[in-house]
Chain A
Amino acid sequence: MSSQVPSPYGSSNGGANLADILERVLDKGVVIAGDIRINLLDIELLTIKLRLIVASVERAEEMGIDWWRDDPSLSSGARRRELARENERLRERIAALEEQEPREEIT
């Protein structure tokens, strides 16, 4: 059909991008409790990345999830703290803006 925007995670077969593949192999399919008990959602960093797949775009943005591609080398703990700080800063900024402007000024 229409061409896709090339990206690091772009399609490599049948128009399926990594998001399509992860969505299916991580989130769908039969769950068997193997002998190795890895709960995929226990994985701290992965959980956050997975939200990109399983959370709606708006929700992901609400949660401030766009930083992981900027610095993928950060440790998950550091990221989480960073994210909390960032959220705090955003909230402060929004509060300050709301004091100055009518509501529809804030996107």
Chain B
Amino acid sequence: MSTQGAELMYTYAVARAGCRPPDGLLGVADAPVETVVEGALTALVSRVPAADFDEEALRAHLEDMAWLERTARAHRSVVDTAAAEFCVLPLRLVTVHRDVRGVRQVLAQRAEEFLSALVSLDGRMEWGVKAYVEDPGTAKPSVPASGSSRQAPADGSGRDFLRRRLAHRQAQEQSQRRADELAAAAHEALDKFAERSRLHRPQDPRLSGAGGRNVLNGAYLIPREQAGAFAGLVGELADRSPGVRIELTGPWAPYSFTQAPQPPDAGGDAGRGGAG
């Protein structure tokens, strides 16, 4: 409850020394964003109340979806606002140090790694592309689809009912396969255009609120000057993929590309979007 309690350093991102966030930028807990410089690097930080960001408090807060959302949005807003001005290396949510010294120590210890990552990301932005296929549940089934409540056969024999049901299921599976193939083809085209790409796991519609099944959730690293061409390609793919809804998000700071590039055949992330 004390207003003048101890403070901790919340760290958002790392950039080259000399980079300054826009004036008046506010971050988590509405705290102003400052910089901590060490050698060739600078960290974007905020002084936050220890009462909310020490280990015990974080543990409790992270259980609270509303707090998590507020904090995640604030973190993202700082990182992406800065990324629009200069190259940043985004850090994971709730990276907290006791004081400036702790922040400087990390910058010194990992200077080489951070600098080489910044070089590989300079002048590039991340874009997200998601593809959805209409939820088969909303397609018109020839028989009542089985939801949580089981349906008894309305008429005809039980065998007819099962046969129709099987046919419907097979048609659904076929359309899902088609959607997966379209999504894979879209990813291939985007991957070719992008400098690097990562496949993320499909999102759960209950969290994303998006309709349909998420068959592609990809991240693509694109040079700034090619953003327009990339968006054009996404639009083209959308036109070429009937039955699949394609969405573009971004530009993002390069969250998905903070690690060194993987060997070409490693295929980025573990999750193959929707396949399997």
**A78 close to B (CB within 8 Å):** no
Within 8 A of A (CB), among B229-276: 234-235, 238, 245-252, 255-256, 258, 271, 274
In the complex formed, the residue of A with least CB distance to B159 is: A102
**Which residue of A1, A21, A55 is within 8 Å of B204 (Cβ)?**
A55
**Residues of chain A in range 50-104 having any CB-CB distance to chain B below 8 Å:** 52-57, 60, 65-66, 69, 72, 76, 97, 102, 104
Interface of A is mostly: loop
Residues of B within 8 A of A57 (CB): 202-205, 213-214
Q: Looking at the complex, which one of B11, B238, B246 makes contact with A32 (CB distance below 8 Å)?
A: B11
Q: State which size class the interface on B falls in.
A: 35 or more
For residue B14, CB closer than 8 A to chain A, the reply is yes
Nearest CB in chain B: distance from A76 CB, A: 7
* Contact in complex: B73, A35 (CB < 8 Å): no
Choose among A8, A15, A36 the residue that contacts B54 (Cβ–Cβ < 8 A).
A36
Query: Which of chain A's residues has its CB closest to B93's CB?
Result: A25
Q: Known contacts A20-B128, A35-B97; is A5 also within 8 Å of B75 by CB?
A: no
Please state if A102 and B162 are interface contacts (CB–CB under 8 Å): yes
Contact of B96 among A25, A35, A54 (CB under 8 A): A35
Q: Contact string, A7-51, partner B, CB cutoff 8 A, digits 1/0?
A: 111101011111111111110111110111110101111100100
Chain A interface residue bracket vs B: 35 or more
Q: Report the minimal beta-carbon distance from A39 to chain B, rounded to whole angstroms.
A: 10
Query: Which residues of chain B have C-beta atoms less than 8 A from A38's C-beta?
Result: 55, 58-59, 62, 94, 96
Give A contacts to B, CB under 8 Å: 1-2, 4-10, 12, 14-26, 28-32, 34-38, 40, 42-46, 49, 52-57, 60, 65-66, 69, 72, 76, 97, 102, 104-105, 107
24 CB < 8 A contacts A-B: A1-B245, A4-B247, A5-B209, A5-B210, A9-B207, A15-B248, A16-B76, A18-B73, A18-B207, A25-B72, A25-B76, A25-B79, A28-B92, A30-B117, A32-B110, A34-B97, A37-B55, A38-B62, A42-B59, A53-B207, A55-B201, A56-B271, A72-B65, A97-B150
